[in-house]
Amino acid sequence: MTSSLILGIETSCDETAAAVVEEGRVVRSSVVSSQIDLHARYGGVVPELAGRAHLERIVPVILESLSAAGLDVFRLRESNALRAIGATVGPGLVGSLLVGISAAKSCALAWGVPFVGVNHLEGHLYAALLENPDLELPVVVLLVSGGHTLSVALKRPGHYTILGETVDDAAGEAFDKVARFLDLGYPGGPAIERIASGADREAIVFPRPLLGTGLDFSFSGLKTAVIHYVRAHPEAVTADVAASFQAAVVDVLVGKAIAAAREIGARGLCLAGGVAANGPLREAATVACEKEGIALYVPSLAMCTDNAAMIAAAAWFLLERDGPSPLSLDAKPNLRLAEAT
């Protein structure tokens, strides 16, 4: 009998992760080794340190994910327990990606199973599906991370179109840059959310870039507006600046996600990516979806941030759609999300 288990591997940025997922929907194990502490003192991810840390951690992380899923690593070749191994091939840091890709290809060769190269962004699309297997499609996935801001129509697993995209900075990048300017530390999103809690979100009216104009996003002007405001008003209360900035980002994200949902007649909205951990964003999306009469799927915090379960899920649907990838497939640091209709 063919197995329905996929081993997923994710090393595109600062999380070393491996997971075993059944039929693209049921998580059998998910192990994430975060490097946040390693990079915090530099105020951002240092690519060389990330690559080296992945190299040290990848084997123990893979072994732990296999044993937590009840698989015997010494019998994987004979037992046919794995259907395939999926690994993120991009976008991401090249030195980090290479560690996961090389590990995945080596395991695929050793155990005689297919290798599937996964687009990291495609992985994020399946995070909500993993936690809500009965989710009704089509949905709009609002994918908001440190590197990306996209709204995507997911029509059925493996098939999606891009509705809107940032024309400059990603939402998480804006959080990180504003936090750095306000001296709040790294990563910026949680730092801004923390200080903004209880502060006045209406203290300063920052622009809501492109709100009401199409489905694309823009955050660079908003970041500049915060910087200009603070320079012109050195007496401004930092917590109020942070709360007002966060309110502007949330208004834009939710307004555009709802507009996207209307455009495709979506049954629901899924949040995905690191910024989806933001409390005010979750609250505003809850209110807006209720008003709109559509479902809201909010992944757990662990599923919002980078993990390998979403990569294994994507690999399952990719394998079904396109078959295995060649072992010559290389890292693609600037890979974009291509439409798959």
Nearer to ligand KG4, 138 or 147 (CB): 147
Q: Which stretch binds ligand KG4 (CB under 6 A): 27-35, 149-157, 209-217, 273-281?
A: 273-281
CA atoms of 204 and 199, how far apart (whole Å) = 11
Binder to ligand KG4 among 84, 85, 152, 275 (CB under 6 A)? 275
Q: Which two tokens stand for residue 118?
A: 């996964």
> Is 14 a residue that touches Zn ion (CB under 5 A)?
no
How near is the Cβ of 10 to Zn ion at its closest, in Å?
8
What residues are paired with 5 via a beta bridge?
Answer: 22
Q: Which stretch binds ligand KG4 (CB under 6 A): 202-210, 250-258, 267-275, 318-326?
A: 267-275
Residues 6+ away with beta carbon under 8 Å from 224:
none
Build a one-symbol-per-residue string for 190-229: x at contacts with ligand KG4 by CB under 6 A, - elsewhere: x--x------------------------------------
Nearer to Zn ion, 17 or 225 (CB): 17
CA atoms of 115 and 319, how far apart (whole Å) = 9
> Is 176 a residue that touches ligand KG4 (CB under 6 A)?
yes
Residues 152-191 that bind Zn ion (CB under 5 A): none
**For residues 340 and 159, is the Cβ–Cβ distance under 8 A?**
yes
The verdict on whether omega for the bond into residue 234 sits within 30 degrees of 0, i.e. cis, is: no
Instruction: Residue 207: name its binding partner from Zn ion, ligand KG4, none (Cβ under 5 to 8 Å by kind).
Output: none
> Is 13 a residue that touches ligand KG4 (CB under 6 A)?
yes
CA atoms of 48 and 25, how far apart (whole Å) = 34
> Is 149 a residue that touches ligand KG4 (CB under 6 A)?
no
Q: Which stretch binds ligand KG4 (CB under 6 A): 100-108, 111-119, 186-194, 206-214?
A: 186-194
> Is 189 a residue that touches ligand KG4 (CB under 6 A)?
yes
Nearer to Zn ion, 32 or 192 (CB): 32
Nearer to ligand KG4, 111 or 219 (CB): 219
Strands 115-119 and 159-165: unpaired
Sign, CA dihedral 338-87-277-146, equals: negative
> Is 325 a residue that touches Zn ion (CB under 5 A)?
no
Q: Among 18, 55, 26, which Cα is nearest to 311's?
A: 18
Nearer to ligand KG4, 58 or 303 (CB): 303
Q: Please count the other Cβ atoms lying within 10 Å of the Cβ belonging to residue 334.
A: 8
Backbone angles phi, psi at 207, to 5 degrees: -65, 155
Strands 149-156 and 295-297: unpaired
CA atoms of 170 and 191, how far apart (whole Å) = 17
Q: Among 20, 16, 29, 45, which Cα is nearest to 103's?
A: 16
How near is the Cβ of 255 to Zn ion at its closest, in Å?
23
> Is 145 a residue that touches Zn ion (CB under 5 A)?
yes
Binder to Zn ion among 15, 122, 173, 306 (CB under 5 A)? 306
> Is 305 a residue that touches ligand KG4 (CB under 6 A)?
yes
Residues 6+ away with beta carbon under 8 Å from 108:
84, 85, 114, 115, 327
Binder to ligand KG4 among 16, 96, 145, 218 (CB under 6 A)? 145
Q: Which stretch binds Zn ion (CB under 5 A): 64-72, 137-145, 200-208, 291-299?
A: 137-145
How near is the Cβ of 76 to ligand KG4 at its closest, in Å?
29
CA distances from 303 to 32, 142, 175, 293, 307 (A): 11, 14, 20, 25, 7
> Is 122 a residue that touches Zn ion (CB under 5 A)?
no
Q: Which residues of the shown chain bind ligand KG4 in the complex (CB under 6 A)?
A: 13, 145-147, 172, 175-176, 187-190, 193, 273-275, 277-278, 305-306
Q: Which residues bind Zn ion (CB under 5 A)?
A: 145, 306
